[in-house]
Amino acid sequence: MAKRDYYEVLGVARGADADEIKKSYRKLAIKFHPDKNPGDKAAEESFKELGEAYEVLADPQSRAAYDQYGHAAFDPRQRAGAGRGGAGFHRPEDIFREAFGGGSIFDELFGGGSGRRETSDRGSDLRYDMELSFIEAAQGTEKEITVNKLDECEICHGSGADKGATTKNCPTCGGRGQVISSRGIFSIAQTCPRCEGRGKVIDKPCASCRGNGRKEKTSKIKIKIPAGVDTGSRLRSSGNGEAGVRGGPSGDLYVVLHVKEHELFQREGDDLICDVPISFVHAALGAEVDVPTLTGTAQIRIPHGTQNGTVFRLKGKGVKNVQGYGFGDLLARVVVEVPNKLNSAQKEKLQEFAELCDENVHPIRKGFFDKAKELFGSK
C-alpha cells in the first residue's frame, strides 16, 4: 500500500513551522498511543506512521530531502545517501519520548516509557441505558439492574494462575513486552502477542478462565437514583464495570437515564408546568380550584375575570434540584374551557347573557378593535 504524505499524516500544511509540526504530533501521538488503545491494531499502526512522519519533518535536513524527493529520499534503492539514507527510523516509542522531552511529562501521561505494560490492566467501563417514569426521576428511587459482564474468576480469584503456578519472563520477548521485526530499512516494534505486552507469563494458567482472570457472568446491581434527575443524566457506579485482567482494578458502570413523559406535567429545569382546565363561569366569577402536585393536591384561588393562559406560581412545588439546591416551582397555567354540546335551554340562557353584556364587559376585545381602527384609519 502506498505511503501517505507525511504532512497529511501530521495534519499540517507544507509551510508549517517546527512548532506547529511538534504540537500536531504531540496531540495525535497521545490519541493513538498503544497504552491508551490496548489491542487496537489500527491505532498502533497510526502511532507508528505518526512517528515516522514526525522524525522526518522535525529534522531540517530530512525535511528538505523529503520536500525534494518525497518518500524516495529514504529508499536506498532509489536515493542512496539522500537524507537519512539507509539509517532507518527509530522506534516509535523513542520518537514519542523525544518529542515530549522524556522524563516527567512522558511518565505522567503513560506511567513510563518502557513499552511493557503493568502486570495488571483495568477493566473496561460499561454503559447501561435505564428508563424511568416521570415520578421516579422527580422523587428518586432505587433500581436493581442485570448486567452481563466479565467478572473475576471465582477459581483463581482474578490472578489467572492455577494453584502452585509461577510467573516468569515471557520467552518470546524476553520480558520487554515488545517484539522487534525488521522490514528492509525499518525496525518495527510491536506488542508481544504471547504476553500481550506485559513481559510476564504464567507457567500454569487457570483452566477455568484460561489465564485471563475473568469470566462472563450475570450480575445484579442496585442503582440509587437521586431525586431530580432528567433525561441524559449519567450516574457512575464505581467498580461495577468489567473486572480488570489478572487482578487489575475494575472499570466503572455508567447508567444513562431516559425519563418518560407525564400526562399532566411538563418539566422546564426544576420547574413544572401543569395546564389546569377551568370552566367559563369559574373564570368569570372566580373560584377555588384544586391543582395536582408531585405530593398530592394544592389549592389556588382564581380571581374573577381570569383570562385564558394566566399562570399561577406555587412556590417549592416543583422538582428537587439534583445538586441539592432546593426545589423548583409549579406553574399552574389556566385553560378556560369553552362549553360545547349545549342543549337549547343552555343556548338560550347564553344568548340572554350576551344581550346583557356591553363592550365594557369585554375590555380586551374592545381595546383590540380600537387599535385595529387606528391602524386602518377608520373612524
pLDDT digits (tens, 9 = 90+) for 304-356: 999 999 999 999 999 999 988 999 999 999 999 988 889 999 999 999 988 88
Q: Find the farthest-apart pair of alpha carbons in the chain and give their distance in angstroms, rounded.
A: 109
Cα–Cα distance, 252 to 270 (Å, whole number): 29
Given this model, what pLDDT does residue 7 score? 93
Cα–Cα distance, 222 to 74 (Å, whole number): 60
More confident residue, 108 or 23: 23
More confident residue, 32 or 77: 32
Quickly state the pLDDT bin for 119 (edges 50, 70, 90).
very low
Compute the radius of gyration of the chain from its Cα atoms: 36
Cα–Cα distance, 259 to 282 (Å, whole number): 35
Specify whether the backbone of 260 is left (phi greater than 0), alpha (psi in -120 to 50) or beta: beta
Do 119-151+214-260 and 262-338 share a fold?
Answer: yes
Given this model, what pLDDT does residue 17 score? 92
Ranges of each domain in the chain: 6-110, 119-151+214-260, 262-338, 343-379
Given this model, what pLDDT does residue 194 score? 80
With 60 as the cut, is the pLDDT of residue 131 above it?
A: yes
CATH class of the domain comprising 119-151+214-260: mainly beta
Out of 51-60, 81-90, 124-133, 229-238, least confident range: 81-90
CATH no., domain 6-110: 1.10.287.110
With 50 as the cut, is the pLDDT of residue 266 above it?
A: yes
Mean pLDDT, the chain, integer = 83
What are the grid coordinates assigned to 344, written together?
A: 337549547
CATH topology (fold) of 262-338? HSP40/DNAj peptide-binding domain (2.60.260)
With 70 as the cut, is the pLDDT of residue 263 above it?
A: yes
Dihedral sign (CA 109, 111, 117, 119): negative
96 contacts 88 by C-beta, under 8 angstroms: no
DSSP state, residue 161? B
| pLDDT tens digits, one per residue of 165-198 | 888 888 888 888 888 876 655 667 788 888 877 7
Out of 98-102, 187-191, 338-342, 363-367, least confident range: 98-102
Given this model, what pLDDT does residue 95 score? 66
202 contacts 196 by C-beta, under 8 angstroms: no
Quickly state the pLDDT bin for 106 (edges 50, 70, 90).
very low
